[in-house]
Amino acid sequence: MRPMTSPLLLSPSPCRLLRRLFSRAPRRRNPTTPRPLAPNLGRRLPASMSSSSARTPGSVVADADALARKVAAIRAAGPAKLQVIADFDGTLTRYWYDGSRGQSSHGLLRQGNEEFDAKREALFEHYHPIEINPDIPLPEKARLMEEWWGKTHGLLIEGGLTQEAIKKSVADAAIAFRDGVVELFEFLEARDIPVLVFSAGLADIIEEVFRQKLHRSFKNIKIVSNRMVFNEEGCLVAFKGKTIHVLNKNEHSLDMAAPVHDSLGDPNGSIDDYSLVKKRTNVLLLGDHIGDLGMSDGLNYENRIAAGFLNTNIEKSLKDYSEAFDIVYLNDAPMRGVVELVSDLCP
């Protein structure tokens, strides 16, 4: 990788990320995550992105020049123009949990009714192959995803899902946030940078994960996901607004956004300031699937840095991920690399 000589990198106080991108000699490191890098991956990691800290997993930048230009542009515009868009499962949360695959916010749910849990699992077995089939045209797939989500939501209502069942499901779940997530949220909150957490799952469960696993909320975080309506007895009776599924999880769904509530079933509605969010035309996007890049669809952004978490199948997927994302964090990495990145974007 050749050094860049663009004036963007010759400012009196170049940011830490850019110094690291272009000034470090090759180094080897030992990953500390549960699944090690493949034996021959080390030589594929750009030396400029290797870390001297044993706590920091590896990362890959395919086009360092392009990333440097984006960092400089976003830094020059300032935090008032920046927003963060993040996927939840496998992005904010860890892929591995105590050496095993962690649960997703949707997969952790137990209704307390084995019959309906089994029915939802049967729907997954039927529709998931459709979701991942690349040969099905998108309009047809979108119709089928809408159908799947509708049937699943119907079973949750019919099966008598309660707020207590959600609390117990989260308490018993194998789910945890990545190390460094709180530090990231605190940094962004202190600078009034909004964070939109997009999920095709259930907002009420994600909010309960925030409450139980972080024990706090952040005023700048909004959850964009499917919202439940409970009656006075705490039983699910309906879903609010339009359905958000895997193919429409983007900024067109902003009217479903709402803050993390203090209590489950908070009646507070959707936010009324999403038009102001859309005026923030610099984006830091965080995801763990290439499809997550679509979360910024509907936003007329000027600059977007896409950071991807490649949690498994490193050898098979690294090429595609490094071409799709500006920077790829490997092996279920902690969030500290992203904290460094936002510190460079907003010094």
- Residue 307's pLDDT is 98
Report the relative pairing of strands 100-101 and 59-60 from DSSP bridges: unpaired
Angle (CA) 304-82-196 rounded to 5° is 85
Q: What amino acid positions are annotated as catalytic residues?
A: 87, 89
Q: Which residues in the chain belong to E strands, given as ranges?
A: 59-60, 82-87, 96-97, 100-101, 195-202, 221-230, 236-240, 257-259, 282-287, 303-310, 327-330
Angle (CA) 335-222-345 rounded to 5° is 45
Res. 39: pLDDT tops 70: no
The per-residue pLDDT for range 101-157, each reduced to its tens digit, is 899 888 899 988 899 999 999 999 999 899 888 889 989 998 999 999 999 999 999
For residue 156, the surrounding DSSP H or E stretch is helix 138-158
Type of residue numbered 148: W
- Residue 216's pLDDT is 85
CA dihedral in degrees (270, 288, 141, 145; nearest 10)?
-40
d(CA 221, CA 193): 9
The per-residue pLDDT for range 286-327, each reduced to its tens digit, is 999 998 999 998 788 999 999 999 999 899 899 999 999 999
Q: Nearest-CA neighbor of 267 among 227, 233, 223? A: 227
Can you tell me the mean pLDDT for 186-213? 94
